[in-house]
Structure 1
Amino acid sequence: MNEGSKMDYSKSGGAKSGKNTPRHSEHNAKGSDKNPYFGKDAKADLLARMKAAAEAKKKD
C-alpha cells in the first residue's frame, strides 16, 4: 500500500450540526417584544392582584 491511498477518516460522515444552538426561538424569550428586559415589574403586579383578591375574599 503506498502513501497516497490512505483513507482520510476525518472527512467521512455527515456534516456537523451546531453544538449548542436551539432548534427554534422561544415565543417569550428575554429581550423580545413580548418579554422586554426592562418591562414593568411583574412581582409588584402579582402582589397587587393577590392583595386585591384577599380583600375581596375578606369582604365575603
Structure 2
Amino acid sequence: MDYKKSGAPKKGKNSPRHQEHNAKGSDKNPYGGRETKADLLARMKAAAEKAKKAD
C-alpha cells in the first residue's frame, strides 16, 4: 500500500510560526542586552561596598 497517496499527515518542521518581538538576537529586544565587563565590575564593586558598609 502506498501511504503517501493515502493522505498520511506530514511531519512537523519544528520551527516557530512567527518571530517573537523580543526574541534573543532581535534588534527590537529591550531586554537582556549584554553588559560590558566594565559595567559588570562597577556593579559588583558597588555591591561589595554596600555590603561592607552594612556590616
Structure with max Cα Rg: 1
Q: TM-score, normalized by length of structure 2? A: 0.49
Q: TM-score, normalized by length of structure 1? A: 0.47
Higher relative contact order (Cα pairs below 8 Å, separated by 6+ residues):
2
More helix by share: 1
